[in-house]
Amino acid sequence: MARIRKRIRREMGRAPGAGATVIDSQSIKAAETVGHDARGYDAAKKTSDAEELSSGLR
């Protein structure tokens, strides 16, 4: 699969490897069953809930 992806990227005139990887997290409301010690605090978002992690290539 990786060889096919690299070949297609080369045919498109792009570098064979991904140029960037984006890692982000989205704040979500934690259930009442999630203990306070398992929750984090995001100062930029001013939230103190659990976070859902996602990553992807762009």
What's the pLDDT tens digit per position in 2-44?
Answer: 899 899 999 999 988 877 777 777 666 667 776 766 666 666 6
Sort strands 51-57 and 21-27 into parallel, antiparallel or unpaired: antiparallel
Q: 19: which residues sit within 8 A by CB, 6+ positions away? A: none
pLDDT at residue 13 in the model? 93
Task: Report helix, strand and coil shares of the chain as percent, to nearest 5.
Answer: 20, 30, 50
pLDDT at residue 43 in the model? 64
| Phi, psi for residue 47 in degrees, rounded to 5 | -125, 155
pLDDT at residue 21 in the model? 76
Q: Is 8 left (phi over 0), alpha (psi -120 to 50) or beta?
A: alpha
pLDDT at residue 58 in the model? 46
